[in-house]
Structure 1
């Protein structure tokens, strides 16, 4: 099997601990290089994770003609610059979420990607876990009747003020970091786009970023989506779909690998019946990598395209517009 050769821009924790190991577990991709502006960091990570090549600059890695694609786990505010440069160097791109800070930036990336005939995918890994397909199957079977509402939450308490998630200049904020999952899950599970958004933000101690974001998505068919994200609350990562005859709850929606047994849990509660729990295994990071690599090596469309990412970014942007104006925002 031909393996996609991937270079990594930066030694960020998410790359070291999750995505690089997932690439190494995959059947159709391999990490062949890592770059850091601190070459000693690159060498240390390369030794720990058995990566053969290191570079002291991101551009040097992009100039390596043997590399097919790059994975970018840089701070949010740096995504656009380096995704664009990677595209210009004819590299396919897997970039951490949010891929950009607004829709206009992503439109620019889309144009450059098309001009250079490369794939760009936002790394929303959670959606590749099979537990979400189980939810969709239950909904399609009418298990809970007509859907009326969905809620999604992702939060954890963050007290470290030096953390980049609290740095406005680097694209910090709870919505960009974890709230995007709540928004994505509602859109993904309902398979619809909201027509209006209303959101409220909280900024702890004048940190310059939203440390809590809550809001409502309204859909044309009357379904309501309730979302929240926070650095001020205890750890929660769940969603629930509410219908006329019951509910479906996913208790480890975004990081099922952190649950006690490492599996996803889908809990079906139908009126008048005992709850039914489905325990579902899946390696979401590796499944994401394999889909990305398969699309490139077989020249097929990505399962999560740049247009899908653009729709997501338009909603995130609307959330921020609504929270800043304290008004309902119509989604463009």
Structure 2
């Protein structure tokens, strides 16, 4: 394919997320959102009003020889069948997350992608979230020393949107909605295997799906990742809280405001007297002197593009033959297997030993 080729995209499922793709595509000079198929007539009318072709069926869209890429943005339970149909129709595929509900579904997609020679990728766009990148860079720069705990939390108080997101059969619930992103961030950050998974899921306001969960992943590099997603929190925790041997990182929210407090003096000389503090008489919990630490402010990285563009850039570069795919289905497979272990752990109440 030519380096200057404009890639035509056909969208199957033109809901809120696909609308976001459509708006974002205005910034991509080599992506043309050509047409849409959706089972909702109102969404078809909206697409037509925005200058896109509307197809009478998804088969009609897949049979259009001008379509180079199919964007799948339907409810999660039909990702597999649509992806396979699109690949066999000779289309490259960009699938919204979670790529599938279960790992066997992705295995089938990957097999068909290999048979057809078409490119299949997933919209794991939160790898470029500025808060994540700021945390990752601080860790990789060694500002905390050896890291042993990463806490990642996304919390709201408005519950779960109605519709398929509260239907278990359609792949609803917070593990498949937000968990897939937060797990992917940790696994993208570290080239390490997940050896143990423990998870507690809650159905506070929605009996059919998890609307809150607490997940602990143990990695074979010594890092423990604790991931929480909540939809009933009226007071939030920090977005990131990371413990290293030499310091602690905290990022409060998506705006990346945060800090690292780094130890420069261990103060390991203990006096005979037990000091009094707000914790009561305690040596171990007594406050540290200000001159024994450095405080390093954290702010949003200015060089990071935090939107859908990098997802499309990596797809375009792959189709151009410039590089290998960066968001690989094999990576998505590992995330799905962690989520499967999390569901199993929540059902049994036991930690699940893994080799993922």
Query: TM-score, length-normalised on structure 2?
Result: 0.83
The verdict on how the C-alpha distance between 1:175 and 1:115 changes in structure 2, with shifts beyond 3 A counting, is same
Unaligned runs of 5+ residues in structure 2 are 264-292
Q: Equivalences for 1:139-150 in 2 at 5 Å?
A: 139-150=139-150
How many residues end up aligned between the 2 structures?
320
Return the alpha-carbon distance in structure 1 between the equivalents of residues 91 and 201 of structure 2. 37
Look up the SS of the partner of 2:325 in the other structure: coil
The match for 2:297 among 268, 276, 295 is: 276
Quote how far apart the aligned CAs of 1:165 are.
Answer: 1.4
CA apart distance, 1:217: 0.8
Task: Determine if contact 1:196/1:328 at 8 Å carries over to the other structure.
Answer: yes
Structure 1, unaligned stretches of length 5 or more? none
Q: CA deviation at 1:75?
A: 0.6
Deviation at 1:136, TM superposition (A): 3.5
Aligned residue number for residue 8 of structure 2: 5
Alignment of 1:62-77 (within 5 A): 62-77=62-77
- Larger Cα-atom Rg: 2
What pairs up with 1:33-182 in 2 under 5 angstroms?
A: 33-48=35-50, 50-51=51-52, 53-129=53-129, 132-159=132-159, 162-182=162-182
Following superposition, the deviation at residue 125 of structure 1 comes to 0.5
Counterpart of 1:316 (choices 334, 339, 343) is: 339
CA RMSD of aligned residues (A): 2.2
After superposition, give the CA deviation of every residue in 1:263-284 in whole Å (9 maximum; x if it has no partner). Answer: x556433231123122224232
Deviation at 1:118, TM superposition (A): 1.1
Which of the pair is proportionally richer in helix? 1
Q: Deviating runs (4+, > 6 A) in structure 1?
A: none
Question: Per-residue CA shift, 1:231-256, capped at 9, x if unaligned?
Answer: 3335778233321112334444xxx5
SS at the partner of 2:222? Answer: coil
CA distance in 2, matches of 1:265, 1:28: 34
Separation of aligned partners in 2, 1:160 and 1:99? 20
Match of 2:324 among 295, 301, 306: 301
Name which of 28, 31, 39 aligns with 1:29.
31
In the alignment, structure 1 residue 328 sits paired with structure 2 residue 351: yes
3-state DSSP of counterpart to 2:32:
strand
Q: Does the aligned pair in 2 maintain the 1:173–1:210 contact within 8 Å? A: yes
For the residue of structure 2 that corresponds to 1:20, the secondary structure is helix
1:22 deviation in Å? 1.6
Asked whether the 8 Å contact 2:192–2:221 carries over to 1, the reply is no
* Structure 2 SS opposite 1:226: strand
Q: CA deviation at 1:157?
A: 3.0
Query: Structure 1 residues 121, 245: CA separation in 2 closer, same or farther (over 3 Å shift)?
Result: same
Q: Distance in 1 between matches of 2:238 and 2:333?
A: 24
TM score, norm. by length of structure 1: 0.88
Secondary structure of the residue aligned to 2:294 is coil
